[in-house]
Chains A and B, each alone.
Chain A
Amino acid sequence: MFFSAFLASLPGAVANGIIWGIMAVGVYITYKVLDVADLTVDGSMSLGGSVLVVCVIGGVNIYLSMLIAFAAGCIAGLVTGVLHTKLGIPAILAGILTQLALYSINLNILGKSNQALNSDRYPLFISMRFTPKTILVCLGITVFLIAVLYWFFGTELGHSIRATGCNHAMAKANGINTNRNIIIGLLLSNGIVAVSGAMLAQYQGFTEVNMGRGAIVTGLAAVIIGDVNFGKIFKNFALRLLSTVAGGVIYYIVMTLVINLGMNTDDMKLFSSIIVALFLGIPYWKNKLAEKKVKPAKESDENA
């Protein structure tokens, strides 16, 4: 009974997980590639949902609405980027400022705090109503997104963004405009997060101004779960993005399991935070312990 129920709820968990996994890909770009902790995502997730719902209800084509949601997310990222690079505000604070501002902006876009999106009235292409098709569509979007990002981060511009995240001094010494690249990275990341918000609004059939609250933690959890489980075998950039999406799926499968087990969902946020904190902390302690077991110095630099 439990087993079959859990199995039956897997497709929904997978669909939900992929949507949040796409959000996590956005987080991956800032957190892993740019090495910036961007808290804008909580706001841009809701922004994507708000923009999509308003567009669709206003009669805009659903695919065009997705593009508009992407563009809106990009603008949110641009704002954070400008606050950070042009006004010298620390990245975390810049993200919080934009996130806070987005609450008001989302309310203004939506005109209220919650808006239903009835899948009987609008031509949505993902919905809880048709989960199997939704999984296929979401997978398609994931593959497309990863392919585009893989290509992008292999271009000259993409290389320069990765170098910016990796080593500012090296990037500048090689003529790379690091400030511009941080803005591009934030822009791209928040655009992707907004697309995920737009997908979530369709999937759950409504949007809400607080929909993205805590999204950064879910996103980090997905990145970390993906990294811990597949990091050793997936070295390639595209596969790493894929493992991030898989991390989102695992996160939601565990969450579904937890709900099926009858655990109090009130504690879900606490668990997410603990899991993320543990996975962030474990590598640090591993290093600490490794340092204690100091090995005798070995002859190095033989090749240099």
Chain B
Amino acid sequence: MLEIKGVHKTFNPNTINEKKALTGIDLTLSEGDFVTVIGGNGAGKSTLLNMIAGVYPVDCGRILIDGVDVTRLPEHKRAKYLGRVFQDPMTGTAADMQIDENLAIASRRGAMRTLRFGVTEKERAHYSELLKSLDLGLETRLSSKVGLLSGGQRQALTLIMATLKRPKVLLLDEHTAALDPKTAKKVLDMTEHIVARDNLTTLMITHNMADALRVGNRLIMMNNGKIIFDVSGEEKKNLTTADLLEKFKISAGEDLNNDRMLLS
């Protein structure tokens, strides 16, 4: 479903601020894979997701989504294949627009924006049902401005928007990191529910090792712009956080350094 071949990325090349963010990434995700990504500060996790989404061009290498080479497509054209949820709850939604308008924009991801009505009555009814089924208490507030919602509500809404039109790949960039633990759990539960319901291919960066182990069928660990550990299936299920830290030490030759990493 997602193929990444030999992707390199260096920021500010040939300057004092030169930063080799990705140094040869090869990764293939099969249909329905739910991959969690962990790694230290500056390991290249977010850069990897941004490369897939097309936020910056790659230096070399190729990215294929469902067999289509998207390496040279600009961000807004790749969006056709991707659902994205960001770390900052403010990033994924348009605050000055209504809930239903945000959903309607998301449902047209990848489609021509025409002069037809931006949101129809039929869609509103559908959104109302959808929100009700997810128990967010938002189904009666379709006409509210998104800016009035709490961070957790906005992140939940972003998740719904990212999956409203089934994406080929769902990219989650530490999407629960900015939320309080209770809300983070709710959003993560909802994520698992939606991914399972739609059988989505998912790449999720997380700072929570327990989550990384519990959720998904595969785990990759990154360090210095490389994937240093890739585990799936039964082997992943049997891992503990202590195993992970040990694995990191062996592969990277140093202790895992992530100031947000939660070992709980």
Interface residues in chain A, defined as those with a beta carbon under 8 Å from any beta carbon in chain B: 152, 154-160, 162-163, 165-167, 169-178, 300-304
Q: Mark B174-190, 1 if CB is under 8 A from A, else 0.
A: 00000110110011000
- B114 with A301: CB separation less than 8 A: no
Known contacts: A178-B76, A304-B150. The answer to whether A170 contacts B94 by CB under 8 A is: yes
* Interface-lining segment among B34-42, B97-105, B201-209: B97-105
Nearest CB in chain A to that of B54: its residue: A172
Query: Which chain A residues border B104 with CB–CB below 8 Å?
Result: 156, 159
Report 9 cross-chain contacts, Cβ distance below 8 Å, ordered by A residue: A154-B118, A160-B113, A170-B93, A170-B94, A171-B76, A171-B105, A173-B82, A300-B151, A304-B136
CB neighbors of A among B56-106 (8 A)? 75-77, 79-80, 82, 84, 86, 90-97, 101-102, 104-106
Best-buried of A154, A162, A163, A302 by chain B (most CB within 10 Å): A163
Closest CB of chain B to A215's CB: distance in Å? 25
Contact of B76 among A158, A175, A300 (CB under 8 A): A175
- B150 with A156: CB separation less than 8 A: no
Nearest CB in chain A to that of B182: its residue: A301
Contact of B186 among A159, A165, A304 (CB under 8 A): A304
- A163 with B94: CB separation less than 8 A: yes
Closest CB of chain B to A25's CB: distance in Å? 18
CA distance A154 to B53 in the complex (A): 28
Known contacts: A170-B91, A170-B92, A304-B153. The answer to whether A156 contacts B79 by CB under 8 A is: no
Query: Which chain A residues border B138 with CB–CB below 8 Å?
Result: 303
Query: Which chain A residues border B115 with CB–CB below 8 Å?
Result: 152, 155-157
Contact residues on B (Cβ < 8 Å of other chain), bracket: 35 or more
At the interface, yes or no: B48 with Cβ under 8 Å from chain A? no
Closest CB of chain B to A296's CB: distance in Å? 16
At the interface, yes or no: B122 with Cβ under 8 Å from chain A? no
CA distance A169 to B87 in the complex (A): 12
- B155 with A304: CB separation less than 8 A: yes
- A301 with B151: CB separation less than 8 A: yes
CA distance A303 to B155 in the complex (A): 12
At the interface, yes or no: B44 with Cβ under 8 Å from chain A? no
Query: Which chain A residues border B187 with CB–CB below 8 Å?
Result: 304
Nearest CB in chain A to that of B75: its residue: A172
At the interface, yes or no: B197 with Cβ under 8 Å from chain A? no
- A174 with B105: CB separation less than 8 A: yes
Closest CB of chain A to B112's CB: distance in Å? 8
CB neighbors of A among B141-176 (8 A)? 150-153, 155-156, 161-162
Contact of A167 among B91, B109, B118 (CB under 8 A): B91
Known contacts: A159-B119, A174-B79. The answer to whether A304 contacts B183 by CB under 8 A is: yes
Query: Which chain A residues border B97 with CB–CB below 8 Å?
Result: 159, 162-163, 166
Known contacts: A155-B116, A156-B115. The answer to whether A175 contacts B93 by CB under 8 A is: no
Known contacts: A155-B114, A156-B118, A162-B97. The answer to whether A173 contacts B92 by CB under 8 A is: yes
- B95 with A155: CB separation less than 8 A: no
CA distance A170 to B152 in the complex (A): 17
- A301 with B183: CB separation less than 8 A: yes
Known contacts: A159-B101, A170-B91, A175-B76. The answer to whether A301 contacts B153 by CB under 8 A is: yes
CA distance A120 to B79 in the complex (A): 58
Contact of A173 among B79, B153, B186 (CB under 8 A): B79
Query: Which chain A residues border B110 with CB–CB below 8 Å?
Result: 175
CA distance A297 to B106 in the complex (A): 33
Known contacts: A154-B117, A157-B114, A170-B93. The answer to whether A300 contacts B108 by CB under 8 A is: no
Known contacts: A156-B114, A301-B182, A301-B183. The answer to whether A167 contacts B108 by CB under 8 A is: no
- A162 with B94: CB separation less than 8 A: yes
Query: Which chain A residues border B119 with CB–CB below 8 Å?
Result: 159
CA distance A162 to B171 in the complex (A): 24
At the interface, yes or no: B137 with Cβ under 8 Å from chain A? yes
Closest CB of chain A to B204's CB: distance in Å? 16
Query: Which chain B residues border A177 with CB–CB below 8 Å?
Result: 76
Nearest CB in chain A to that of B186: its residue: A304
CA distance A250 to B186 in the complex (A): 50
Known contacts: A160-B105, A160-B113, A173-B53. The answer to whether A304 contacts B161 by CB under 8 A is: no
Nearest CB in chain A to that of B77: its residue: A175
CA distance A156 to B117 in the complex (A): 6
Best-buried of A173, A176, A177 by chain B (most CB within 10 Å): A173
- B118 with A158: CB separation less than 8 A: yes
Closest CB of chain A to B31's CB: distance in Å? 22
Query: Which chain A residues border B102 with CB–CB below 8 Å?
Result: 163
Best-buried of A156, A160, A169 by chain B (most CB within 10 Å): A156
Query: Which chain B residues border A163 with CB–CB below 8 Å?
Result: 94, 97, 102, 105
Closest CB of chain B to A223's CB: distance in Å? 15
- A304 with B156: CB separation less than 8 A: yes
- A166 with B114: CB separation less than 8 A: no
CA distance A304 to B75 in the complex (A): 29
